[in-house]
């Protein structure tokens, strides 16, 4: 079992990803696809007059400010535009794809952060109307049922809070939670960089291999989105996966290349 997460950053070639996924499925590989949609969300949010905002936590992490209106725009892009676009691409390649958000059938469930601390101009402030959280439970029963019937689940945030509210969750970490829950062997995290870079953004400084025990000491090299990926990788390995590959989705055969070890392999 392989879980593949493809990010939603600019430059990602979803057609190439779907070509690879369709080929793998036709060879009998069991897999689940997870996707993001951040770049398109930013564009649509701008166009709808509700531009994206990002907030910083006291520990220095940046995340999307998700008020209720942002959550709705997020759902439009992630669950509508991108999810159905991926499902359509896969159907056209003969794959029995089924697109679901984490809300559906409570596929991804977890606690909502009722209050988040953000730092603005050096001052800490509390936000109480933010809809974010983290995935703690995965409805593996439904995923296994769909897989057993020959369907390919195509999953996307948001998740559901334990109170049944839609919450924005990090896609990489949700993919990791899904991989752990399904007892997957490999998690592939595709984005618009070739992997973890020693000297960001110098792509020649790609780190090709990280032993699991060294993961912690590599955390400091990772900024922004990459930090969440390493956190997801750590959670996946702690949860029993054999390996996590961080790889580039801007190239031909992105999934094949990742599975062949092109990128940053953590095991």
Q: Is 188 in the site for a copy of itself (CB under 8 A)?
A: no
**Binding residues with a copy of itself: total (CB under 8 A):** 39
Spell out, one character per residue from 95 to 134, where the chain touches a copy of itself: x when CB under 8 A holds, - when not: -xxxxxx-xxxx----------------------------
* Interior angle at CA 218, CA 201 and CA 6, nearest 5: 60
**Among 61, 84, 208, 242, which residue sits at the site for a copy of itself (rule: CB under 8 A)?**
84
**Cβ at position 90, least distance to a copy of itself in Å:** 9
**Among 23, 30, 76, 147, which residue sits at the site for a copy of itself (rule: CB under 8 A)?**
76
Q: Is 78 in the site for a copy of itself (CB under 8 A)?
A: yes
Q: Is 69 in the site for a copy of itself (CB under 8 A)?
A: no
Q: Is 201 in the site for a copy of itself (CB under 8 A)?
A: no
Task: Tell me the DSSP string of 198-243.
Answer: TTTT-GGGB--EE-GGGHHHHGGG--HHHHHHHHHHHHHHHTT-SE
Q: Which of 115, 124, 113, 7 lies closest to 56 in space, CA to CA?
A: 124
**Among 8, 110, 158, 195, which residue sits at the site for a copy of itself (rule: CB under 8 A)?**
158
Q: Which of 177, 197, 179 lies closest to 187 in space, CA to CA?
A: 179
Q: What's the order of all strands across the beta sheet hosting 137-138?
A: 137-138, 108-110, 159-161, 166-167
Which residue number, 21 or 160, has a Cβ lying nearer to a copy of itself? 160
User: Which of these ranges, 24-32, 54-62, 155-163, 232-240, lies near a copy of itself under the rule CB under 8 A?
Assistant: 155-163
Residues of 113-136 as b/e, b for ≥16 C-beta within 10 angstroms? beebebeeeeeeeebeebbbbbbe
HSE, CB side, 13 Å, CA atoms: give it for residue 193. 22
Binding residues for a copy of itself, per CB under 8 A? 44, 47-49, 72, 75-81, 83-85, 87-88, 91-92, 96-101, 103-106, 142, 145, 149, 151, 158, 160, 163-166
């Amino acid at each position: 079992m392989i879980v593949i997460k493809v990010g939603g950053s600019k430059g990602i070639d979803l057609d190439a990803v779907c070509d690879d996924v369709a080929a793998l499925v036709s060879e009998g590989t069991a897999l689940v696809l997870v996707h993001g949609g951040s770049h398109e969300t930013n564009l649509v949010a701008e166009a709808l007059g509700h531009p994206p905002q990002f907030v910083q936590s006291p520990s220095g992490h940046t995340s999307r400010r998700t008020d209720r209106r942002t959550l709705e725009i997020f759902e439009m892009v992630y669950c509508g535009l991108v999810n159905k676009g991926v499902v359509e691409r896969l159907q056209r390649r003969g794959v029995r794809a089924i697109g679901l958000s984490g809300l559906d059938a409570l596929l991804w469930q977890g606690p909502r952060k009722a209050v988040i601390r953000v730092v603005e101009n050096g001052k800490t402030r509390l936000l109480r109307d933010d809809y974010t959280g983290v995935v703690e439970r995965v409805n593996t029963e439904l995923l296994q049922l769909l897989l057993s019937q020959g369907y390919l689940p195509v999953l996307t945030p948001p998740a559901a809070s334990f109170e049944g509210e839609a919450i924005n969750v990090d896609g990489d970490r949700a993919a990791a939670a899904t991989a752990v829950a399904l007892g997957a062997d490999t998690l592939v995290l595709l984005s618009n960089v070739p992997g973890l870079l020693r000297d960001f953004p110098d792509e020649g400084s790609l780190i090709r291999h990280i032993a699991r025990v060294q993961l912690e000491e590599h955390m400091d090299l990772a900024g922004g989105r990459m930090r969440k990926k390493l956190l997801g990788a750590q959670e996946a390995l702690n949860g029993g996966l054999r390996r996590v590959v961080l790889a580039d989705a801007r190239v031909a055969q992105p999934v094949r290349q990742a599975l062949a070890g092109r990128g940053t392999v953590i095991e």
